[in-house]
Structure formats: structure tokens, C-alpha cells
Amino acid sequence: MSRYKSFSVHSGISRCRKAIAAIAAGITAAALPLTILGVGTVGTLIFRVSDFSAHTMMPQAEISSSESPAESRDDFPTVESEHSASSEDSSEDSSGDESGKKKASGSAEKEQSSSQTVSEKKNSGKGKVIEKQIGDSGYNYGSVYVKDGNSNYDLNIKKLLSSRAKCKIKKNAGYQVLIIHTHTTESYAEKSRDWYSKKYNPRTTDKSESVVAVADEIEKKLSAAGIRTLHITTYHDYPEYPGAYDRARKTVKAYLKKYPSIEMVIDVHRDAITRDDGTKIKPTAKIKGKKAAQVMIITGCDNEGKLEFSGWRNNSIMAVQLQKKMTDKYEGLARPLYFAPFRYNMDLTPNSLLIEFGTDVNTLSEAKYSGQLVGNCLVEVLEKYVVN
């Protein structure tokens, strides 16, 4: 009897050990492909560097806050997969010898390579850049063209050109113009090329390389003309991108309260135009023998009456008059004005403008030159609204 009990206990323990070992082996076997999948697919999706939306007709798509802008022109994030240490450990051969480890490790690397996502392949290598001058499209009155994104309204260009905006500019007085950036980290290509790296991330926290530098050129022109301008360079899209317009809204409201003399708010951006095949468009115009990034003014409206944006018509007066000045003074500088069914914080002042300078494949020097030209045009437009 004692022998039977002893045998039963021993046998039970042995069977338990085998069962545990079998379960552990099964978990390890199952974990390996999951680990590899996590690195090859999920990891790539999390750490993938992506550009902003190429659609100019809709607000730019908001990207993950993990997609941080580069700190300098020489430090752009690249598309890389992180390697998990557990993938090598779990693929170790049961014998524990070195040859078994190498064999299993090689197999894991092969499997990891085969699990590379379509997204990784699509965003590797180079893409094509087409440089062109975006011509006139939409409806027009004289030299002013409007691309209409609204279903309920059109702009009466002729009437707007002869109208007077609710704007009173006092020279050499308090701040008259406020310049901000909803997407402060938007930047430009390092060089003018007919290709771009698909690993390139056109964002930077270096304000001397971003849209901030473009707006500096506008500010210089306005200030030199006696139109005091406040240029706010607060980051609204970094370290977190989603909610940038909400944060920019708070900034604008705060400065309007602090400086009630402000008559105009300009939100300076840069655009991105990418075709379905990955080709990027670089809109340029040659002005006085020098390349300039083409510029697009955006003015919004309350298309469906749900945006609490009753003052949009006054904004459109200023937008159309600036468009007219740009097209007449510098041929080719302005793309068609975009009349958008969105608010873009333009409800906060009667003379709010959103201006896009070039795209992500224009160079900074091209965009800065456009900033100077637009600054000249703004001075001439605002001169009509100067009061004593």
C-alpha cells in the first residue's frame, strides 16, 4: 500500500512537470510570431513617420503625438522597426547550444522581414517631385479666381472688391496685426530637387527653419510701414498635434483681450499636395527673376449655419482684396483663393486670414521670398484702411 502511494505521488509529480513543460513550450511557440508581428506591423504603425494630409480642401489630418518633429534639419526621424529582445530569447533551440540559437535567430529575422507591412514598403525610398505653377481655376472676376468648396454660397468677387472691410489701421500706434501659427512646426525641403525621401518628415522645432521664418518676413514689411505687428511663435502642434486649432484659439483670444487694438489676425501655414501615386507637387512662380513658393489664401464660411460664424462675409472682403493685389502686383504668386466650408478660428476677428506658403517640397528660401512679397501686398491693402 505504501509502495502504491509512493508511486502515485511520484507519477503525479512527473506528469505535472511534463504538462507544465508542454504548456510553456506552447506559449513560447505562440508568442514568437506574435512578438514578430508586433515589431513588424504594430510597432511600425506606432512609430511610423507620416506627413500631414495632402488634401488642401479639408483641414489637415491630425497625426499621432508620437510623430515628433525633427529638432534640426540634420535630424529627421526615419522609418525603422524596433527589435524586441524577447524575439531572440523565445526562438532559442531546446538543446541550448550556440548553433541552435543562431539557426533560430536567423529564422526569426527572416520571418520578421517577411512581415514587413505594405505601409513600410510604400514609404521607403524616393518619391517624385513635380515643380509647376498652379494656374487659374474655379470662377473669376478679372484676375481674381476662387475655388469654391461650399455648397450654399458663392463669393461675389466684384461686390467684395468694391466693399469696405471693417478695419481701421492706426500707424505707429498699438498692435494692429497679430500673426500666429496653428501648425508651428511645419517646415520645408532642404534643397530643390525633383525627388523627395519618403522617410523625410517636414516638421521641425527649429523656428528658423519653419513657417515661423516665413512670417518673420511679413512682420518686417508691416512694421517697416508703421503697422505694428505682433508675431506669436507658440507651438500649438507640438508636443501634441491633435487639438492644435483649439490651442491656437485660446492663444488668439488671449492676445485679442490683451491688445484690443488688433484689427487683423493672420494664421501662417504651409501646404502639402501629394497625388495618389506618391508624387508631390511643388508650386512655384518666377517673380523678378527669382523663384517664389506659390501662395494660397483661405477664407471660410458657415456653410450649413452650424459654426457660429456670422461674420465670415467681412473676412472674405479682406481675403479677396488681398488676392487681387497679389495677382496684379506679382503675376503667378497667388494660387486661386480657396473658399472653405470651415471656420479655422476666423470667427474671432473681422479680418482673419489663413495663408498657405508653398508645400513641403518647396524650399525655405522660396517661401521666405513669398513672405516678403505678401508683406508688400498687405501693406498696400491696409494703407486703404489707415485712419488718423
Query: What domains are defined for the chain?
Result: 2-125 (no CATH), 127-383 (3.40.630.40)
How high is the mean pLDDT in each 10-residue block of the chain (388 residues)?
Answer: 36 47 44 32 28 32 37 31 26 32 38 47 80 96 95 93 96 96 97 93 96 98 98 97 97 98 98 96 98 97 88 94 98 96 93 97 98 98 95
Q: Cα–Cα distance between 289 and 286 in angstroms, integer? A: 6
Residue 337: which residues within 8 A CB-CB, separation 6 or more? 144, 145, 146, 147, 296, 297, 298, 299, 319, 320, 323
Closest residue by Cα to residue 185 from 309, 275, 268, 298: 268
Q: What's the pLDDT score for residue 200? A: 87
Closest residue by Cα to residue 298 from 277, 273, 268: 268
Closest residue by Cα to residue 268 from 205, 330, 181: 181
Q: Cα–Cα distance between 152 and 87 in angstroms, integer? A: 58
Whether cis (ω within 30° of 0) applies to the bond prior to 239 is yes
Are the C-beta atoms of 307 and 156 separated by less than 8 Å? no
Residue 256 has a CB neighbour count (10 Å cut-off) of 15
Q: Cα–Cα distance between 358 and 353 in angstroms, integer? A: 16
Are the C-beta atoms of 87 and 105 separated by less than 8 Å? no
C-alpha cell belonging to residue 106: 536567423
Closest residue by Cα to residue 324 from 366, 267, 271, 377: 377
Bridge partners, residue 282, by sequence = 131
Residue 369: which residues within 8 A CB-CB, separation 6 or more? 217, 287, 290, 291, 292, 293
Q: Cα–Cα distance between 56 and 183 in angstroms, integer? A: 14
Kindly tell me the burial class for residue 156, based on how many C-beta atoms sit within 10 Å of its own C-beta (0-12, 13-18, 19 or more): middle
Give the position of cell 498657405: 356
Coil, strand or helix: which one is 186?
Answer: strand
Are the C-beta atoms of 216 and 39 separated by less than 8 Å? no
Q: What's the pLDDT score for residue 123? A: 57
Could you give the dihedral angle defined by the CA atoms of residues 103, 104, 110 and 115, in that order, rounded to the nearest 10 degrees? 180
Are the C-beta atoms of 96 and 163 separated by less than 8 Å? no
Q: What's the pLDDT score for residue 306? A: 87
Could you give the dihedral angle defined by the CA atoms of residues 187, 270, 177 and 213, in that order, rounded to the nearest 10 degrees? 20
| Total-model pTM | 0.71
Q: What's the pLDDT score for residue 386? A: 97
Q: Cα–Cα distance between 88 and 139 in angstroms, integer? A: 63
DSSP string for 335-364:
PPEEEESS-TTGGGSTTEEEEEEEETTSBH
